[in-house]
Amino acid sequence: MKIHEFDPVIYPRKLWVAVSTDTFSDRFEDVSEWDDTADAIVDCVRDKLRNLGGILVRFESKNAITIANIAHESSHIAMNIFDYIGAKVDLANQETFSYLVGWVADCINQVRTGKFKD
């Protein structure tokens, strides 16, 4: 079960994407148990190995990484990052929020397709 890590550079959070229902408790703090009714779950976590904060999104399977689920989970992830930095999701911040949602969606899509950018 590979955990793919992405760095948004301008935001002080990492993004981890996994295709697994595992809690990865050996690596992360604050990961919720898997909900059998979910296709994906987003958690704000801390990487215990490197003391880094970020967002972990887990997808139940590759088939669960649909356009609809990518959009849905990307929105949750961007809102969590905005909350962490104290930014509001409103009309004044919609452009930066939308760019962040797009970046997250692209990262998840890289995991879906197996085609990673340098």
pLDDT in tens, 15-64: 999 999 999 999 999 999 999 999 999 999 999 999 999 999 999 999 99
pTM: 0.95
**Token code pair at residue 38:** 């979910």
Domain boundaries, the chain: 3-113
3-state DSSP assignment of residue 50: coil
Phi (first) and psi of residue 36, to 5 degrees: -65, -15
Fill in the amino acid letter for 112.
Answer: R
pLDDT in tens, 4-25: 999 999 999 999 999 999 999 9
